[in-house]
Structure formats: C-alpha cells, structure tokens
Copies of this chain bind each other. A is one copy, B any other.
Amino acid sequence: MTDFNLMRELRRQAPGKIILLVMDGLGGLPLEPGGPTELEAAHTPHLDRLAAEGTLGQTIPIRHGLTPGSGPAHLGLFGYDPLTYVVGRGVLESVGVGIVVRKGEVAARGNFCTVDAQGMITDRRAGRISSGEALPLVEKLAKVRIPGVQVEVRHVQEYRFAAVMRGPGLESDIADTDPQRTGVPALEARPTKAGSQKTAELFNAWIAEARKAIADQPKANALTLRGFSTDPGLPSFPETFGVRSACVAAYPMYRGVAELVGMTVLKFEGDKPEDEFAAVARAWDDFDFFFVHIKKTDSRGEDGDFAAKSAVVEGVDAALPDLLKLGPAVLAVAGDHSTPAKLKAHSWHPVPFLLWAPATVRTDDQRRFGETACSHGGLGTFLATDAMPLMLAHAQRLEKFGA
C-alpha cells in the first residue's frame, strides 16, 4: 500500500511526464476455456509494440476476490487504499452525476418510493421507474426551497437521484431514512452524532417539502435518503506525489473522483479516444501527470457485448500514436477493474497492466498485451495502489530511500 508520508519525503522533480491511460473495466474473460478475452481478441498493434518494449503485470484492484465499484477502483489506481480512504455513497453518487461536493457540504443518495394513504412504504424503488419517468420528479425536487440552505438535486438513473445540501455548519453523521422494508413509514433523518442534529432537522424539513411537491404523482409519491456524507478530505494527489496533475475524462463520475483528489479537470469536446488524446496534447506543457479515462470498455462489458468491447480497445489502439508522439517518459495502460462481457458486470479478476518507459523499464519476455501475457509479465501480480510508485519511479521522480 502506498505510504503517503513516504511519497512526500521521496518525491522529486524530473522532466519526464507520466500518462496513466485507464480503460475502464479492461479485464475480461474468455467465452470458453482457453479462448481469448476481449482484450486478447482485439487487434492491437500499437499496444503489442508497447508490451514488447515495456513490461507487463496484473493489478488486484482492492484485495483478492473483491469486486470494486468505479470510485474505489480509481482511488486504488491513484494510490489511495480504498479500504482506508472510504468515500461515502452520497458523495460518490453526486460526483458521479457531476455535482461537486466540498468539505462541509452534505451529499445523499436518494430513492423514489411509493407510499399508501397512511404513509406506509409500498415499494421502496417505486417499481424501478424509468429514467424518463423520474426526470420530471427530479425537476420538482430541484425547485424545493427551505430557509438557510440550498439543496442541489440531480437525477442518477431510474429511481435514483443525488442531493447535496449547502449552507453553514452542516455535518454528515446522519442515519439512512430508508427502513429497508415495506409496510412501515420512511424513517426521519436522525443524527448519529450530536453535531449533526441541525443538519438532520434541515434534511427533514427538505424531505417534508419534497414529499409535498410529488405527493400527487402516480408513479412515485415519496422518497428516502441514504449514504449521507461529505468530501472525505483525501490527501492531495498533486501535493503527495509532487506532480501537476490533469484529468481527461468524458464521464462526470471520473472527473469527480479526480477532483476529489485535487487533479485539474480539463475541458474538451467529444468523447472519442482521439478527442481525449488531443486534450492531453493541448495541455502537455502545463502538467506532469495525465489521467486519461476511457469509459466504453466498461459500458460494452456491462452490455455483455464481447465484440464491441474488443472494438473499443481497437479504437484506443488506433489513436495511441497521438499520445506517443508527445514523448511521455512513462505510459501506463491500466484498467480500474475487470468487466467481463461474459458476466455483464464488474468483477474481481486481476486487471492487465502495461508499463512503457523507454529510458528505465526492464523489458520482460512478453510480446502482446493481454490477460495471460500480463499474468506472466515482469511486474508480477500487485495491488493497484502500487501502480503510482511504479510510475513515479520509472519517470525518475522518486529519491532513493535511505543512505
């Protein structure tokens, strides 16, 4: 696990720049025993060349056997052990839809539900109403006003939304209002520490007004809130590792996590690999470290579309020369976790990792970028939190430890 104080002690400036290219959900599974994975089935001449010139390994996102969500998986790649640096569900959901949550602001994840005439919950997820049905309800909630604070509300997916309260003196130690069963009323927001009493009352006031606003709605006439949390105050990534750091990501969730650790989020148009790589090129002189995020490997994995996931990888491969011509000292190609098309979901399997660093890498005997090659790579199998020290070292950005 990355020792942050040690990193601060050992970091040093060097001219070489680092690119961390994350293909979300990169790891896959063969459809039949001994067959290729999505990555292995893809035609990837550039990645294969980098594999031959660099070294391979496989990362364990959190611990063996644990399937990570996107937030924890990215924190791990950034060097933050997800079991130590826990980000609340409310913050992650908010960040995921592009709401910035700052210290002292309180985020919650919301569920639309249905209640009967007596106020008893009849469906905790309002029949999993569609996003189309939920959006007008979110608009009603967004207009709710209560004295002393502002509450920003955005839709997440289906029956889920995110709410962030802003104002003076707020605390986030509040228990979920979802009773986890039907036939009972939603719970009041109750403080779990004394300091959160006022915030709980404000949330109860907001909930009361919000329920009035949707009381006559046919599909969902009530709501619950869970995962109350605030900015976890993560150590600063640029300060800890001594790198001016930029995030290039098309999806809000990943921009949000990058912002939580203090990276500068770059604006750009488009969502193709070449659009993202062009954004890196434009900002090349201003940063030392670039986190570049490709979403669609994960999306096609979640769809269960093996061939489409391979095609996304091929698209990244085709655009790679745009990154290489910038002359990075280190290019790491990684995944935050596996999303095998066969499982249509995130999984716990080890994740391929490629480290290319022409001046400093110890090349191994692997010649292609794929799961099996990575399991035989020179870096071995290691925790994702070790990726940052490895990248910094290969960019000659870490001092020797001890005399």
Residues on A lying within 8 angstroms of B by beta carbon are 3, 6, 10, 27-30, 33-35, 37, 52-53, 58, 62-73, 82-83, 86-87, 89, 92-93, 96, 340, 343, 345-350, 360-365, 371-372, 375-382, 386, 388-393, 398-403
Query: Are A83 and B6 in contact, CB atoms less than 8 angstroms apart?
Result: yes
Partner of A364, one of B96, B372, B403: B372
CA distance A199 to B343 in the complex (A): 57
- Label chain A's interface by main secondary structure: loop
Partner of A363, one of B34, B391, B400, B403: B34
CA distance A349 to B29 in the complex (A): 30
Query: Are A71 and B382 in contact, CB atoms less than 8 angstroms apart?
Result: no
* A92 partner residues in chain B, CB cutoff 8 A: 402-403
Copies of this chain assembled into the complex? 2
Query: Are B67 and A401 in contact, CB atoms less than 8 angstroms apart?
Result: yes
5 contacts between A and B (CB under 8 A): A64-B382, A65-B390, A66-B389, A69-B400, A362-B371
Query: Are B386 and A37 in contact, CB atoms less than 8 angstroms apart?
Result: no
Given A34-B363, A83-B3, CB of A401 within 8 Å of CB of B65:
no
Query: Are A375 and B372 in contact, CB atoms less than 8 angstroms apart?
Result: no
Given A29-B362, A66-B10, CB of A380 within 8 Å of CB of B378:
no
CA distance A363 to B28 in the complex (A): 11
Whole-angstrom distance from the CB of A364 to the nearest CB of chain B? 6
* A72 partner residues in chain B, CB cutoff 8 A: 401-402
Query: Are A68 and B34 in contact, CB atoms less than 8 angstroms apart?
Result: no
Query: Are A68 and B400 in contact, CB atoms less than 8 angstroms apart?
Result: yes
